[in-house]
């Protein structure tokens, strides 16, 4: 069985991707980059700013399958590396490492798609089904990035934040909880209506 949803309208393949899939990759990758460049990729919530830059990866994966999600995640992660090289911040030393910036974003496409597909609801447009995919995909971003940050750079993180190395793990876990849950909820509220609207539009074309 094809891991991507079948398409009977477009059969032309370019480098293994259908024309529609390439269009989706380009459009959603561009949206993710624009969100990062303009600052619109951060939603102000009480006490934090929730990022939505990974939401296009989730949308692409649910609409077109894991390979498309992986491609968008790779471009998003690559942009993150270059952004931290061009505009360094306190933690840029970590985000210039592809294992921190790229790998977790690539995995988003896999977890979002399969958590969506494995929900035992036959209706592919069920909001709960889409919402669970979005929630898991968003958590993948948070856990993946912060997990790699802890594994590879816990000591340097503590030094950058002027804290004891023994406290680094608790601090990173605290960030994951404080940011991860709100970001996942925001991702659900954005992803569900967009996926449903796009599918409705495609159905009536």
Condensed to tens digits (0 to 9), the pLDDT of residues 112-129 reads 999 999 999 999 999 999
- Tell me: pLDDT of 199 over 70: yes
- Tell me: pLDDT of 3 over 60: no
The model's confidence at residue 50, banded by pLDDT at 50, 70 and 90, is: confident
- Tell me: pLDDT of 4 over 60: no
Q: Is residue 1 part of a domain?
A: no
Angle value at C-alpha 37, between 97 and 31, nearest 5 degrees: 95
- Tell me: pLDDT of 201 over 50: yes
Mean pLDDT of the chain: 89
List the domain range (segments joined by +) for residue 56.
15-203
Q: What is the pLDDT of residue 1?
A: 43
The model's confidence at residue 181, banded by pLDDT at 50, 70 and 90, is: very high
Percent residues over pLDDT 90 in the chain: 70
Q: Is residue 103 part of a domain?
A: yes
Q: Is residue 197 part of a domain?
A: yes
Q: What is the pLDDT of residue 89?
A: 86
pLDDT digits 0-9 by tens, 146-164: 999 999 999 999 998 899 8
- pTM value > 0.85: yes
For strand 17-18 and strand 13-14, is the pairing parallel, antiparallel, or unpaired? antiparallel
- Tell me: pLDDT of 45 over 80: no
Give how many domains the chain has, as a whole number.
Answer: 1
Q: Is residue 45 part of a domain?
A: yes
Rounded (10°) angle between helices 103-117 and 66-86: 150
Contact at 8 Å (CB) between 39 and 26? no
Q: Is residue 124 part of a domain?
A: yes
Q: How many helices (H) and strands (E) does the chain have?
A: 8, 4
- Tell me: pLDDT of 95 over 60: yes
Which helix (H) or strand (E) element contains residue 49? strand 48-51
Q: What is the pLDDT of residue 42?
A: 78
Q: Is residue 10 part of a domain?
A: no
Q: Is residue 167 part of a domain?
A: yes
**CATH code of the domain containing 197:** 1.10.1760.20
Q: Is residue 6 part of a domain?
A: no
- Tell me: pLDDT of 140 over 70: yes
């Amino acid at each position: 069985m094809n891991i991507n949803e079948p398409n009977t309208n477009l059969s032309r393949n370019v480098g293994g991707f259908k024309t529609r899939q390439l269009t989706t990759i380009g459009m959603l990758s561009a949206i993710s980059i624009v969100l990062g460049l303009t600052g619109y990729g951060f939603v102000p919530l009480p006490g934090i700013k929730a990022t939505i830059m990974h939401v296009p990866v989730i949308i692409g994966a649910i609409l077109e399958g894991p390979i498309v999600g992986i491609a968008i995640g790779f471009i998003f992660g690559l942009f993150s590396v270059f952004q931290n090289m061009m505009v360094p911040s306190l933690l840029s030393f970590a985000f210039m490492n592809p294992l921190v910036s790229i790998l977790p974003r690539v995995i988003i496409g896999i977890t979002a798609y399969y958590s969506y597909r494995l929900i035992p609801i036959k209706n592919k447009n069920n909001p709960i089904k889409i919402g669970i995919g979005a929630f898991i995909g968003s958590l993948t971003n948070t856990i993946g990035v912060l997990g790699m940050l802890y594994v590879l750079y816990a000591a340097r993180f503590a030094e950058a934040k002027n804290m004891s190395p023994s406290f680094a793990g608790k601090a990173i876990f605290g960030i994951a909880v404080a940011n991860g849950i709100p970001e996942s909820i925001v991702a659900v509220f954005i992803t569900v209506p967009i996926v449903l609207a796009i599918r409705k539009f495609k159905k009536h074309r």
